[in-house]
Structure 1
């Protein structure tokens, strides 16, 4: 049976993206659609997801479970044990044709018509449910890898922003030193700029430590050496607005499809139960060895006895089967309740993710506007320096605002993509 799993991480419908597919075990195909940014590291995330799917022990565990359950199909496609018997007469009963010496017998019971097929269908339904478990695990793993990757991007990008601000402050420091020489600024202004540089240098070191720790955690997620270097993309394009999401697509989510498969497995189990309430037919053969009579010569003297046998096994006391039928009915009701509860939970997660993603777009646009105004204020300050009226307190204030807006912009973009992975996990 070939089934396909598609977990799509595309975020902007109008942006260009590519569909990367790579084969997995037992005919599975896992597809990841990721935005292609036009630079050399565009494929990194897809490669990391591929590595995680190949190496992750939880995926391997569920794959093994699926194979194990599928293998049970061979176990149920069998008849009951063939019965062989042998007996020796200690006291030989005499017959007309001679004394009976020993007896051999063989018997084979055959289940009611369709019983074996019902068992195979039951095992297949269990395997289908196990397959959905494996699909869910792979989806969750791909989502976790993507989210961790975006967090690494966030830390690395913030480091670059801090570096840019340190360079900017060094430029301001030179201006302040020049102003001190001509008596238009005080040494205190220079010291304030240097203190601010020290704070940014500290923040950069903290971010580096954070990146190292997150990189090790990311490598563990990929089940590879924790010191393996991780490269991240240079930028994340943001849309002007978020796309609408249809909650109806939730109904086809593997977590919910699994309940349908479980419901089907219970129905198949009931079919097996009904078949087992039917009689079993047995076919056999008895062979009796007869010795020759020595006291007289009779027709067929010493002729062995061969007797075909037909037997019928009827489950007269079937309270067990009736109880199983009631249990199956209750289990199906339980599964339906579990599915409804899980659907409500997933729908709540979807609505929250959509809301947070929309908020990220709004926040991103706001940070862009504020950053633009902060840069204009910076240009005004630089022009003021030419007239000798620069205020370095204003310089520090504008620099802090710029840094704040830049950091918030990065966080908004990362949050947009993080929420998008949740949305796509639920709807694609």
Structure 2
């Protein structure tokens, strides 16, 4: 396997593929926001730089130890037959036991792959946060519009009540009730507008942008469904979740680290040569340089307890990592069940509140007609108007919650 090809899976400036269907205005705009977040979010950039740093570890650990070069000057030259020895140059190179450097490299490579999966996990989490915030922005914007529509409805009721009051058909009580309802709605509307500003700030911070341009949100949120069965979704999470994949690579890194620990108990080989400079001897012989080659040495690993402890350390770490993976798998299954419950609940609520909203609209129309024709039960009109407001808001909330649940399950699957 060419490990370099594995690593060059992301270009220098985070060109990221976003696996979301682009079928309409809203989804297309959301896709653009996801791309912007991927390019600009500082937390994601931090994870990417952690990955790049891990890539630089493999070239370090696979390299041989630095060669040793020594120079010796004999203060009192050693007399030999060829002349006095004046200088000595020594060069030596240590070679770890066969396969040690490769095992170290493989361990670093697997650790880097684990960092890459941590980056992918951060990217998937960021995308889910962007999508969730987008759905919150949609709901809050719709809540503002619905509240304003209901204020307009109350304004029309107020005019109707004023006409009936002038005709002596009703008391001033109807007008007071409308004023109370309008005051509550106007207060709620002010709160929603303040909340919209906060949500926009949060959304722009995820994108790491100071742009004051309007966030483009569709008038009606698209409706998508999960295409896989519950069992297939859970299986996909167990196979593709980036946290689990990262733990897999960490386990593989520990397996190579254990191999390194085992090989550390073998001798290291030292090979070198000496170059000696001799001067002019008493017999007026010209100095002759002499080579002493080869020079071979071994490190003898006598203290075995140290190497046994190194192996045991990795064995304990492998056990801990396996348990951590099992725990993470259980946590992900629990999170999926919650997401699946939210998805189904959102689907049911959409069906329910769409039906309730239609009935409330019909009922309000009949009550309004009856009131205009002389029926004095204005309290029932206001009660139905409140139900209309509630069902309108609940329907839009259900739409947003369902898409948020789909986004969360997609995040668990690594998307």
The alignment's TM-score, normalised by the length of structure 2, stands at: 0.90
State the Cα distance separating 1:391 from its structure 2 match.
2.8
Q: Is the 8 A contact 1:217 1:226 kept in 2?
A: no
Q: Of 254, 257, 263, which residue of structure 2 is paired with 1:269? A: 257
Aligned residue for 1:92, secondary structure, equals strand
Q: Is the 8 A contact 2:103 2:260 kept in 1?
A: yes
After TM superposition, the structure 1 = structure 2 runs for residues 200-239 of structure 1, keeping only pairs within 5 Å, are 200-225=185-210, 227-238=212-223
Cα distance in 2 between the residues matched to 1:169 and 1:238: 31
Cα distance in 1 between the residues matched to 2:7 and 2:54: 17
State the Cα distance separating 1:381 from its structure 2 match.
2.0
**Match for residue 315 of structure 1?**
300
**Match for residue 315 of structure 2?**
329
Cα distance in 1 between the residues matched to 2:13 and 2:219: 36
Cα distance in 1 between the residues matched to 2:330 and 2:77: 77
Q: In the alignment, does 2:143 pair up with 1:155?
A: no
Q: Of 338, 346, 350, which residue of structure 2 is paired with 1:352? A: 338
Q: Is the 8 A contact 2:336 2:409 kept in 1?
A: yes
**Match for residue 257 of structure 1?**
245
State the Cα distance separating 1:129 from its structure 2 match.
0.9
Q: In the alignment, does 2:273 pair up with 1:288?
A: no
Cα distance in 2 between the residues matched to 1:351 and 1:230: 32
Deviation by residue 1:124-169 (Cα, 9 ceiling, x = unmatched): 1110111111111111111111111111111110111111111112
Structure 2: where are the runs of 5+ without partners?
none
Cα distance in 1 between the residues matched to 2:229 and 2:389: 32
After TM superposition, the structure 1 = structure 2 runs for residues 110-121 of structure 1, keeping only pairs within 5 Å, are 110-121=95-106
Cα distance in 1 between the residues matched to 2:155 and 2:169: 18
Aligned residue for 1:292, secondary structure, equals coil
Q: Of 74, 79, 97, which residue of structure 2 is paired with 1:94? A: 79
**Match for residue 417 of structure 1?**
403
State the Cα distance separating 1:372 from its structure 2 match.
1.5
Instruction: Check 1:221–1:387 CA distance in 2 against 1; reply closer, same or farther (3 A cut).
Output: same
Q: Is the 8 A contact 1:382 1:390 kept in 2?
A: no
Cα distance in 1 between the residues matched to 2:250 and 2:13: 21
Q: Report the more deviating stretch, 396-405 or 379-388.
A: 379-388
**Match for residue 267 of structure 2?**
279
After TM superposition, the structure 1 = structure 2 runs for residues 10-409 of structure 1, keeping only pairs within 5 Å, are 25=12, 29-34=16-21, 36-37=23-24, 39=25, 41-225=26-210, 227-238=212-223, 244-246=229-231, 247-252=234-239, 253-295=241-283, 302-317=287-302, 318-385=304-371, 387-389=373-375, 391-409=377-395
Deviation by residue 1:373-409 (Cα, 9 ceiling, x = unmatched): 1112122224325643353222111101101111111
May I ask how many residue pairs the two structures share in their alignment?
Answer: 406
What is the Cα-based RMSD across aligned positions, in Å? 2.4
Q: Report the more deviating stretch, 257-266 or 53-62.
A: 53-62
Q: Report the more deviating stretch, 239-248 or 91-100.
A: 239-248
Q: Report the more deviating stretch, 143-152 or 77-86.
A: 77-86
Instruction: Check 1:266–1:2 CA distance in 2 against 1; reply closer, same or farther (3 A cut).
Output: closer
Cα distance in 2 between the residues matched to 1:215 and 1:309: 74
Instruction: Check 1:4–1:73 CA distance in 2 against 1; reply closer, same or farther (3 A cut).
Output: closer
Q: Is the 8 A contact 1:166 1:200 kept in 2?
A: yes
State the Cα distance separating 1:296 from its structure 2 match.
6.7
State the Cα distance separating 1:240 from its structure 2 match.
8.8
